[in-house]
Structure 1
Amino acid sequence: MKIGLYFGSFNPIHIGHLAIANYMAEYSDLDQIWFVVSPQNPFKQKRSLLSDYHRLELVNRSIENYPKLKASNIEFSLPKPSYTIDTLTYLKEKYLQYNFSLIMGSDNLKSFSKWKNYELILQNHDLYVYPRPGFKDHEIELKGNIHLIDAPLMEISSSFIRKAIKDKKELPFFMPGAAYQYLKEMHFYEK
């Protein structure tokens, strides 16, 4: 089975994340998409970053009725800081029957050569790259199994949602209903 790993803080998850994951599940050769919720970096203070558990819960509530999408807390128990190569190595050892690929926005390719052991990632894993505003395909200089996916361009961001909630705006259509309800019940991002 071919698994696409979609890493992120998902702080909070929103319809843009879900539309990309849905597109990848339906229009690529990936069998499942795993949302890998990245833990808080212990060296950075971010008041707006929800706890790992709450962000995982928002993801779970968002995808509960779509079996091709899964939430993963795999990085919660790995050494910090989390490096993608270490997570991939752990997953390959734990799930021998799966083939893991990365899903990322095209903007991440600009700094990909700075990732720990990026060459090993490119040699051993496919990258499924979706478009991001302001990035052109011809700017890709990396060599490897890179698949440019013609997914819809998403210009929504988690920072926009956090700011809107702090500014007392109602955004029920920017997140799945169950996740938005949980966010409101818990009063996340209001201060």
Structure 2
Amino acid sequence: MKIGLMGGSFDPVHAGHLRAAEEISEKLELDEVVFIPALISPHKSSETMTDSSHRLNMLNLSIKANPHFRISDMELRREPPSYTVDTLRSLNRSNLEDRHYFIMGSELFAEIDTWKDFAELFNYSSFVVLRRPGYDVPDSASLIPLALKNDFRYSYSDKGMDVFAHTSSNELFFVDITGIRVSSTEVRELASRGNSLRYLVVPEVEEYIAGNGLYQLEEKL
């Protein structure tokens, strides 16, 4: 199977996450996309993250109508912090026949050389870097960290997508998407002011946030 992987805090999951997953699923003809919420992101303080049970519940509410989306709680069950390389190693060991495609934004990919064991990441999965409208993204090759440039070679371009081959036989995709300009930070700020979240999150998540009083007392980073 061709399986997309989308990690993150999902605090909360919003329309931008869902639309990106849907577009990449179509463009790369993925069989499914798995959302993997982090228990504690190594780049964020645990004090700024909403309890994982709430984040997991909101994910379930958001994806229940899409049979090609599912959730893995593997990082929630593992000792923190949630390192992507550990997740990919585990998936690679347990699913030898599957091909994985880790989906991330270009702003995160630009910092990938700060991640734990970053050079190993591409041995376990292909990577899909999202190019959203309105973001100043340089040419794709310039985004590849200097320490990794010798591991990649340009392969082809097609319909808003540049592809580079990795020495492991995995691939690195830079893909143009429609994109929805919203962030979890913006959703939290709107919720804290009691503003409508309509069209930014699914209706069930807006109701869940209001019903559980999330994001009301303190600003989340």
TM-score by length of 1: 0.91
Are positions 1:2 and 2:33 aligned together?
no
1:163 aligns with 2:166: no
Runs of at least 5 residues in structure 1 that lack an aligned partner in the other structure? none
Find 1:141's aligned residue among 144, 156, 165. Answer: 144
Query: Where in structure 1 do 4 or more consecutive aligned residues deviate above 4 Å?
Result: none
Per the alignment, residue 215 of structure 2 pairs with 189
1:84-103 superposed matches below 5 A: 84-103=84-103
The Cα shift of 1:146 comes to 0.9
Say if 1:95 and 1:122 are closer, same or farther in 2 by CA, change over 3 A.
closer
Amino acid at match of 1:104: M
Kept in 2, the 8 Å contact 1:13–1:158? The answer is yes
Higher strand fraction (1 or 2): 2
Cα distance in 2 for partners of 1:86, 1:41 equals: 13
The structural deviation recorded for 1:41 is 4.7
Please say if residues 13 and 184 of structure 2, whose CA atoms lie closer than 8 Å, have aligned partners that are also in contact: yes
Deviation at 1:149, TM superposition (A): 1.4
Q: State the Cα distance separating 1:152 from its structure 2 match.
A: 1.3
* Cα-to-partner distance string for 1:10-40 (whole Å, 9 max, x where unaligned): 1011111100011111121321111110113
Whole-angstrom distance in 1 between the partners of 2:181 and 2:196: 18
**Residue 32 (structure 1) aligns with:** 32
Distance 1:150 1:81, change over 3 A: same
Deviations 1:36-88 (A, max 9, x none): 101135982434x2111110110110010101111111101222212111111
Aligned residues: 190
**What are the residue-to-residue correspondences of 1:3-22 with 2, within 5 Å?**
3-22=3-22
Following TM superposition, by how much is the alpha carbon of 1:137 offset from its aligned partner in structure 2, in angstroms? 3.2
**Whole-angstrom distance in 2 between the partners of 1:60 and 1:137:** 36
What residue is the counterpart of 2:47 in the other structure?
46
Distance 1:164 1:112 in 2: 30
Larger Rg: 2
Report deviation, 1:172.
1.9
3-state SS in 2 of match to 1:147:
strand
Code of the aligned partner of 1:150: D
Secondary structure of 1:127's counterpart equals: strand
Fraction of identical pairs, as percent:
28
- Residues 40 and 51 of structure 1 are in contact (CA less than 8 Å); yes or no, is this contact kept in structure 2? no
